[in-house]
Structure 1
Amino acid sequence: QLEPYLEMIADRKDREEKMGMMDPRGARGKASVYYRYVGSLTTPPCSEGVIWTIVKRVRTVSRHQLELLREAVHDDMEKNARPPQEVNSRDISMFRPFQQNRH
């Protein structure tokens, strides 16, 4: 769904495109299990208070989609991740889709 909009802004700094509302749950899938915790940014200043959501089932995108996203973001951060950090007493929650009892 995002691909046409990413193509419009890829390689164009200071360009915005209105795309309306998109439901992020579509990327997660209908019955995905996911984990959530409060952590920090992966780039300086590594600020705390970021809510991370990690989907248990890995989904894929095409190389073309990944390149479009990189071109559209323009963050000049080719390596934007830092090594994993200690849990540091953080609560990590696991969410499962509601399942009705079957008899």
Structure 2
Amino acid sequence: MRLAELNFYNDDEGKPIGIHEYIGKRPVFAAGNSDGDYQMLQWTTTATGYPRFGMFVHHTDSEREYAYDRSSHIGKLEKGLDDAAKNNWLIVDMKKDWAKIYPGISKD
């Protein structure tokens, strides 16, 4: 029987709980775009046994998509930017690193 309640909240510390509940093991790759994904990247990349990969997509292109980071009221990315180097996570900058965001729309 299903009850009118959440099993977990799919943000922050709830992301690893949800992944474990539905997949049953730690992934080898995790990517996110806000501090709500921090615990998921941390949980994924701290496992031992074989190499793991963590990445944040930094939304920096307000013209072609959205821009948010440290001072945003939504999609805040602060802790992830601060801790990426020490955790060996890749930061992908949308404006600098992506030639296209949506097919057919050029950067120029």
TM-score, normalising length: structure 2: 0.22
Higher relative contact order (CA 8 A, sep 6+): 1
Question: Is the strand fraction higher in 1 or 2?
Answer: 1
From the CA coordinates, give the structure whose radius of gyration is larger: 1
